[in-house]
Amino acid sequence: MNSTQPNQILIVDDNPTNIKVLFDCLKSAGYRVFIAQSGESALEKLAVITPDLILLDVMMPGIDGFETCQRLKNLPSTQNIPIIFMTALNETEHKVKAFSLGAVDYITKPFQQEEVLARVNVHLQLCNLNQELRSMNEQLEKRVAQRTARLSYTLEQMQVMQLQLIQNEKMSALGNLVAGVAHEINNPISFVAGNIFPAQEYLKDLFKLIALYQQECPQPSPVIQKTIKSIDLEYIKKDFPELLNSMEIGIERITNISHSLRSFARSDTAKKQLFDIHEGLDSTLLILKHRLKANEDRPEIQVIKNYGEIPLIECLPSPISQVFMNIFANAIDALEEANQGRSFAEIKAKPNCITVTTNLSQDEQYAIISIKDNGTGMPQHIKQQIFEYLYTTKTTGKGTGLGLAISHKIIVDEHQGKIEVNSQPGAWSEFIITIPVMASKGVS
C-alpha cells in the first residue's frame, strides 16, 4: 500500500440514504470512496479497482451480502480484502455466519459515525500491518531461497570436485597399471622380435648345409637314414619356416596389443590433443576382451563395428577412453543380466551383441559415436536419472553410480559435447556420444 495516497474504501449498499451518510463520513475523514448498489455491481467494480476495505450490506436485492462475501473470498484477487458487514439484523446466528464467511467485523444500523470511523481505522491499520508482515515474509522467503540456492550450488561444486578426484584417481591407478603391463610386455617382445629374422636366416643356412650334405653324400649310413626317417626331415624343412612365420605374426599381434595398452594409458588429462577415436574404441574393447569371450554360461559376445570416415579428434584421449570403458562395461552387464534364466542354446540362437557405429554430423563438425546392446533396455524413469550422481540400478557392491555421472561430466563439461541414451525396455539400449571434431566447437 502506498502511504502517500489515501486508503480506498468500497461501499456496497442499495439504500441511497445509507450510502450518502457513509460517503460523507468517510470522505471527510480523508478516504477515497467508491460506491456499488448491488452485489453484482460490486463484483464488476472489483474487477477494475482493488480497495483496501469493503463495507458490505447484508440485505440487498439479487445476491445478498453473505453470497457476495463468499464469492469475494473465493477469488484470489479479492480474498485478502477485509470486509465489514453492515446490518440491521442483530441475531447471533447472522453474526456467526458473517464471521464464518470471512468478515472481519460488523456494524449495526442505524450508523454511528464515530463507531464507523473507529472500526474502519482499526481494520485499515490491521490491514496495513498484515501487508507489511506479508512483505517481510516474502523478503524472508526470498533470502531463504537465495541461501538455499547458494548451498545447493556449493554442494553441486563439491560433488563435481569429488567426481573429479575419483576420476583422476581411477585413471591414474588404471593408467599406471596398464602402462606398467605394456612396458613389461614390450621388453620380451622386443627381444623375441629382434631375433626372429636372424633365426630365419640361420634356418636357411642350416637347410642349405643339409642339402649340400645330401648332395655330397647321397648314400648316408643306415644310422643317419634311420634318424632322418624318425624326425621326418622333409616335414621339418617344410614346417619350420611356417612356424617361424607364425611366431612373427604372433609377435606383431602382441606388439599391437602393447601399443593399444599404451594408448589407453596415455596421461594427457591437462591438454587436448589429436586422437583416433577408432583406436580408442579398439583399445578399450581389447582391455575388456576377457569379458567378451565365451564361457561355460554363454557364447562369445559379438562386437559389430560400423566405423565411418572420421578424422583425428581434438580431445583428452584418456578421459574419452574412460567414457568408452564405462559404457562398454555397462553394456556387458546389461547383456549378462538379460542372459539370466536363458540356456546356452537359447543365447546362441539369439546372440549377445554390441554394435559400435561412428560417423560425422552432416556439417562434419561433430563426431557421433553410438554404442548399442541388445540387453534388457531400461524404462523411462531410469533413462531420466541415468546420468545423476550416485544413481545406480545395480545391487549393492556391483555399482557405485559414478561411472555414467563421470562420463557425462567428461563429455559435456570437458568437451562441450552431448551424451544421450535411447532404449526400448526388454530389447536394447543405445548411448550416443556427440563431441566436436575441434575443441573450439561445442554442441548447442
Q: Identity (one letter) of the amino acid at 98?
A: A
Return the DSSP state at 341. Answer: T
E strand intervals along 243-296: 273-275
CB atoms within 10 A of CB 215: 8
Q: Do 101 and 80 meet the contact criterion of CB atoms below 8 Å apart?
A: no
The beta strands (E) that lie in 4-134 are given as 8-12, 32-36, 53-57, 83-87, 105-108
The string of pLDDT tens digits covering residues 109-168 is: 887 888 888 888 888 888 778 888 888 888 888 888 888 888 887 887 777 677 666 666
Query: Can you give the pLDDT at residue 328?
Result: 93
Per the CB < 8 A criterion, the answer to whether 255 and 249 are in contact is no
Query: What does the alpha-carbon distance between residue 163 and residue 160 come to, in Å, rounded to a whole number?
Result: 5
Q: Which pLDDT tens digit goes with each residue over 1-47?
A: 445 678 889 999 888 888 888 888 888 888 889 999 888 988 888 88
Grid coordinates standing for 440? 573450439
Task: Cell 451518510: give the residue.
Answer: 21
- pLDDT per 10-residue tile (average), the chain, 444 residues: 73 88 88 90 88 89 88 88 83 80 84 84 83 86 86 76 65 62 72 83 88 86 87 87 83 70 56 88 86 89 94 89 88 90 90 95 93 88 72 51 77 91 90 89 60
What DSSP letter does each residue of 114-129 carry, written as one string? Answer: HHHHHHHHHHHHHHHH
Instruction: Give the span between the Cα atoms of 417 and 411, in whole angstroms.
Output: 5
Kindly report the backbone phi and psi dihedral angles of residue 357, in degrees, each rounded to the nearest multiple of 5, phi listed first.
-125, 135
- End-to-end Cα distance, the chain: 46
User: What is the spatial distance between Cα 379 and Cα 424, in angstroms, rounded to a whole number?
Assistant: 7
3-class SS of residue 416: coil
Please, which residues have CB within 8 angstroms of residue 441's CB and are 6 or more apart in sequence?
A: 365, 366, 416
Angstrom CA distances, 144 to 134, 137, 139, 153, 200, stand at 15, 10, 9, 14, 81
- 119-123 long-range contacts, CB within 8 A, separation 24+: 119/84, 120/9, 120/26, 120/29, 120/31, 120/53, 120/55, 120/84, 123/53, 123/82, 123/84
The amino acid that residue 443 corresponds to is V
Residues 6 or more apart whose CB falls under 8 angstroms from that of 347 comprise 298, 299, 339
Q: Which residues contact 19 (CB under 8 A, 6 or more apart)?
A: 11, 13, 35, 37
What does the pLDDT read at residue 335? 92
**Count of CA atoms in the C-beta half-sphere (13 A) of 326:** 28
- Residue of 318, 322, 436, 424 lying closest to 372 (CA atoms): 424
Rounded to whole angstroms, how far apart are CA atoms 35 and 212?
134
Distance of CA 207 to the CA centre of its chain: 68
Whole-number Å distance between alpha carbons of 119 and 110: 15
Q: In this structure, are residues 57 and 15 in contact, taking their beta carbons and an 8 Å threshold? A: yes
Backbone angle region of 280, left / alpha / beta, with phi > 0 → left and psi within -120 to 50 → alpha: alpha
Of 10, 9, 8, 75, nearest to 36 by C-alpha is 10
User: Which pLDDT does position 396 carry in this prediction?
Assistant: 47
**The pLDDT value given to residue 309:** 93
Instruction: Report the 10 Å Cβ neighbour count for 178.
Output: 19
The answer, yes or no, to whether the previous bond of 110 is cis (omega within 30 of 0) is: yes
Pairing of strands 418-424, 32-36: unpaired
How many alpha carbons fall within 13 Å on the CB side of residue 62? Answer: 12
